[in-house]
Amino acid sequence: MANKTYLTITTPNKVFFSGETEIVTLKIADGYIGIMPNITPIFSSIETGKLTIGYLNDSNSIKCYIGSGLIYADKDKVNIITDDIIKADDIDLERAKKDLAFYEEAISKAKATSSADTQKFEVKLKKAISRIDIYNQFHK
C-alpha cells in the first residue's frame, strides 16, 4: 500500500466510497489540494466543489461534486465526512438549474425583506452553481 492511500467517504446515510487510491483531490479553504500517500497529517474543512478520486486524466478516476464537510488525512488513510456528494455522472442537471433559479429568487426576496435566511440561501445557491459547473465540465 506504499503508493496508495485508503480513502473512506462517509455521508449520514451510507459509505459513499471505501477503497484504495493513488490520490484524492478536493477544495479546502486554501484552494484545491491533492492528497497522496505519506502526506503530513492534515485536518480541514472542505469547501463546496469538485472531488476527484484518482488522477483526473485517468479513465478510471471518479469525478464528483462535494458539498461542505471535513477531511482528515495521514500517511496511509484519508477520511472524509460530508452530507452532500454526487458522482458527476449522477448529477441531475435540470434539478440543479431549478435549484439555481429558486435560490436566486429566494435571495432577492430575502434581501428585500431583510430576512436572516439570505446566508442560508446563498450557500444553497453556491451548491447549485457548483453542481452545474461540474456537470458541464465532465459532459462536454
Give CA–CA dist 87/89, Å, rounded. 5
Q: What is the pLDDT of residues 16-54, one digit of tens each?
A: 999 999 999 999 999 999 999 999 999 999 999 999 999
For residues 112-132, one letter each, b for 16 or more C-beta atoms within 10 angstroms of the residue's C-beta and e for the rest, the string is eeeeeeeeebeebbbbbbbbb
What's domain 5-88's architecture?
Answer: Sandwich (2.60)
135 band by pLDDT with thresholds 50, 70 and 90? very high
Cell of 116: 436572516
pLDDT above 70 as % of the chain: 97
pLDDT at 111 over 90: no
Q: Which of 112, 116, 69, 64 is nearest to 90 (CA)?
A: 64
**Is the distance from CB of 64 to CB of 48 less than 8 angstroms?**
no
0.75 exceeded by the pTM?
Answer: yes
Domain borders along the chain are 5-88, 91-138
Q: What is the pLDDT of residues 77-86, one digit of tens each?
A: 999 999 999 9
